Amino acid sequence: NFSRVTEFILLGLSNTRELQVLFFTIFFLAYAMVLLGNLLIIVTVRTDPKLSSPMYFLLCNLSFLDICCTSVTVPRMLVDLLSQRKAIAFENCIAQLFFLHFAGASEMFLLTVMAYDRYAAICKPLHYTAIMNRRVCWVLVCACWAGGFLHSIVQTLLTIQLPFCGPNTINNYFCDVPPVIRLACMDIYVIEWLMVSNSGLICLFCFLLLVTSYMFILVTIRTRFTEGHWKALSTCASHVMVVTLFFVPCIFIYLRPFSTFPFDKHICVIYTVFSPVMNPLIYTLRNNEVKASMWKLWKRY
């Protein structure tokens, strides 16, 4: 009596109509902020020749990845919040899973590269132009995208080969590896450990690299009491806040096999919605050069 599941039912964040309307308003505004803020960063960096340093090149790529990450999950969630039946076809579920991990892993690697760029700029200023030239930046960005694709294709292949013939209800607002593989009609002990070694360890490893780089920056700043280095300290503190907001929920979700909690879907909101909202605010409002370029762009058009 084998029959393959052709669609999944997403339970979403709430079944209460009033809460669904409230969530729709909040997430629609958040998505609009992500699109407008990150598109403004991309246009500003691309049109102002003064913003040609590696830091702004990487920031432009981060903005594009933020748009990709939120566009994979949020539009579908907004539609489901206004729908009675929240069904997603099996193929669309796998596609959402693939593109989410592709963009998400690429962003993790890129945030690590950005931390390395700040480390080189603050700790080795005399060698910075040799360490982070345009060619190196392109190589690092391509490596981030390649790493994200490799990570995502492994996750997708491990998921798609599982037999799905029983329950098809996902207690989340999007298709992700942990809730989907638990619907498989087989023992997933080995699969879950493979998922943890892929997703969970990548999150943890990138986060530890980020923390290590910022520790080196703090040690360097501690011995140099100049105005520029204190400004760098303030900037790094805001960056640490953003990456913590992104990485800690990911580590909690993907480095924890064989268990699930009802509030997991609410934790997912942090790194799929609110973290991309914070990135434009932190990386632009605290940067005088970007704000000046945006003001010039506004006066020009």
Q: Which two tokens stand for residue 57?
A: 């090149």
Amino acid, res. 161: Q
Predicted pLDDT at 74: 94
Strand, coil or helix: 50: coil
DSSP 8-state secondary structure symbol assigned to residue 87: E
Its CATH class, for the domain covering 7-299, is: mainly alpha
CA 160-161-163 angle, to 5 degrees, is: 100
Query: Which tens digit of pLDDT belongs to each residue from 218-239?
Result: 777 776 655 555 666 666 677 7
Question: 88 - beta bridge partners?
Answer: 8
Residue 1 has pLDDT above 60, yes or no: no
Indicate the average pLDDT of the chain.
Answer: 86
Amino acid, res. 192: E
Predicted pLDDT at 189: 86
Strand, coil or helix: 285: helix
Decide if 131 contacts 120 (C-beta within 8 A): yes
CB neighbours of residue 255 within 10 Å: 16
Residue 72 has pLDDT above 70, yes or no: yes
Average pLDDT (273-281) is 85
Query: Which tens digit of pLDDT belongs to each residue from 105-140?
Result: 999 999 999 888 888 888 888 888 888 888 999 999
95 burial (CB, 10 Å; 0-12 / 13-18 / 19+) is: middle
Predicted pLDDT at 207: 92
Which of 153, 123, 121 has its CA nearest to residue 137? Answer: 121
Residue 245 has pLDDT above 90, yes or no: no
Residue with tokens 């760029």: 117
Q: What is the model's pTM? A: 0.90
Residue 285 has pLDDT above 70, yes or no: no
283 burial (CB, 10 Å; 0-12 / 13-18 / 19+) is: buried
Q: Which two tokens stand for residue 70?
A: 């939120």
Helices 227-254 & 201-222 angle (0-180, nearest 10): 160
Which of 9-13, 241-245, 273-277 bottoms out in mean pLDDT, i.e. has the lowest? 241-245
Average pLDDT (264-278) is 89
